[in-house]
Amino acid sequence: MTVAEQPFNFRSVALSVYLPTILFSTGEGAVLPMIPVMAHALGASIPLAGVIAAMVVVGELLGDIPAGWFVARFGERTSMIGAAGLALTGIALSLLATAPWTLMIGVLLIGLATSVFALARHAFMTTRVPLRYRARALSALGGIFRAGWFIGPLIAAAVIAGTGTPQAAFWIFAIGCASAVVALLVLPDPEQQVGPPPSVAEAAPRPGLFRTIHANRAILVRMGSGVALVGATRAARITLLPLWALSIGMSEAHTALVIGLAGGLEFALFYTSGQLMDRRGRLWSVMPCMVGLGIGFLALAFLHDVPGREAWFTAVAFVLGVANGMGSGIVMTLGADLAPKDNPAAFLGAWRFSSDAGQAASPLLIAALATVSLSLASGVIGVLALVGAGILARYIPRYIPHRPHR
């Protein structure tokens, strides 16, 4: 019996699947906009602050290979508890940081923890959710992350306004991690509720990550290059928007508020994205997302020194939020579509590596271009987004022909 044919009641496991995720992502959402601010307060230049912010996605990239092994070896719940513990270590280093390099190490550990946490959820959804609901379930997972990234900055804005220090955001993340661990320990394990996929009992010895990359190299080069640009464009929002706000003189609380509201727009569209992918095809989500991001970043490139630049920044941040929301869950859904059905974990590790490579490269590229100007960085990201849209428009119909599911 295939995954698509298995009887499945997702409501019975939804709380166990989604609650730890939103607790973790809310805390992470609180700290992401504040990382460049804290780095700058510790004496880092704007380009160096961009590099430090990039350590989140660099950590995710470095964590993909061990995360795949760790999740396969120890299971989802144990892996997520370990990830929360690693994140708490990174939070402690960040709070104790007296120099930019210490903050950089702490942020890197947070990125490593995020890779384990995210891969554990992705692997569960790929093997247990029927194909006809896949995009909606994975878009909901993407929406849960976006909900956290929306709620987190709003909480951070209020707490920072009251305490006067951006370090308060890291305490919010610490509470989120601890709460996620409690939820994982108290709630039923969804792996045990649903049971293993039917193929596990008869599975042949599983190939390693690098053998899987070699066996799927054509897909990973073609589709992976497009997904890498998706990751690069999305990561640019996390890095470039706080730097842009800092450059035009916006306050810390105002920055967190704008980015949080933009995250709210993303969250509002997650189910729409899943419905479009399941009923119309994957391109109906990909194209509005990438074209919208491309246009938004290209527009931002011309708005740094115009009158009312804070209002223009807010408007563009909202446009980018809508565009990104239209692509909620797309990377996870495409990976689940392409992964081998009997052994998806190794492929998903390689797939996430492609996406995370783009995410890791993007802030480093922005940091390099920011030495010239932030406007140049925004323009280059806009062009890359449109290139990514073209690549995926070419290869998605070849590798993932649309079969409508009602």
What mean pLDDT do residues 115-130 have?
Answer: 80
| Residue pLDDT, tens place only, 234-263 | 989 888 998 899 888 888 788 888 888 887
Q: What is the dihedral sign for C-alpha 351, 352, 353, 356?
A: positive
Check pLDDT > 90 for residue 172: yes
Q: Does residue 201 have a pLDDT over 50? A: no
Number of domains the chain is built from: 1
Q: Is residue 201 part of a domain?
A: no
- Domain CATH for 100: 1.20.1250.20
Measured at the alpha carbon of residue 117, what is the angle toward residues 25 and 245, in degrees to the nearest 5? 35
Q: How far apart are CA 231 and CA 358, in angstroms?
A: 5
What distance in Å separates the CA atoms of residue 300 and residue 15, rounded to the nearest whole number? Answer: 39
How high does pLDDT run on average in the chain?
Answer: 84
Backbone angles phi, psi at 242, to 5 degrees: -65, -40
Q: What is the DSSP string of 325-354?
A: HHTTTHHHHHHHHHS-SS-HHHHHHHHHHH
104 pLDDT exceeds 50?
yes
Domain of residue 287 covers 11-196+208-399
Whether the predicted pLDDT of 126 surpasses 60: yes
User: What backbone phi and psi angles, to 5 degrees, belong to 202?
Assistant: -100, 10
Instruction: Indicate whether 4 belongs to any domain.
Output: no
Residue 203 DSSP symbol: P
Asked whether residue 132 is domain-assigned, the answer is yes
Task: Decide: 189 and 77 in contact? Cβ < 8 Å.
Answer: yes
Structure tokens at 47: 């380009």
Question: Please, which pLDDT band fits residue 12 given cuts at 50, 70 and 90?
Answer: low
Q: What is the pLDDT of residues 59-96, one digit of tens each?
A: 888 888 788 778 777 878 888 999 999 999 999 999 99
- CA separation for the pair 345, 219 (Å, rounded): 16
- Angle, helix 330-338 to helix 217-247, in steps of 10 degrees: 170
Task: Give domain status of residue 2, yes or no.
Answer: no
Rounded to 10 degrees, what is the CA torsion of 314, 242, 238, 312?
20
Which two structure tokens, joined as six digits, stand for 301? 């490139």
Q: How does pLDDT run across 184-196, given as a tens digit for each residue?
A: 999 876 666 555 5
| For range 130-152, the mean pLDDT | 79
118 within domain boundaries: yes
Give the three-state DSSP class for 171. helix
- Return the pLDDT at 315: 94
- The whole model's pTM is what? 0.76
| pLDDT at position 44 over 60 | yes
Res 2: pLDDT: 44
**What's the average model confidence in pLDDT over 272-289?**
89
On the question of pLDDT at 311 being above 50, the answer is: yes
CA–CA dist 226, 319 (Å, integer): 22
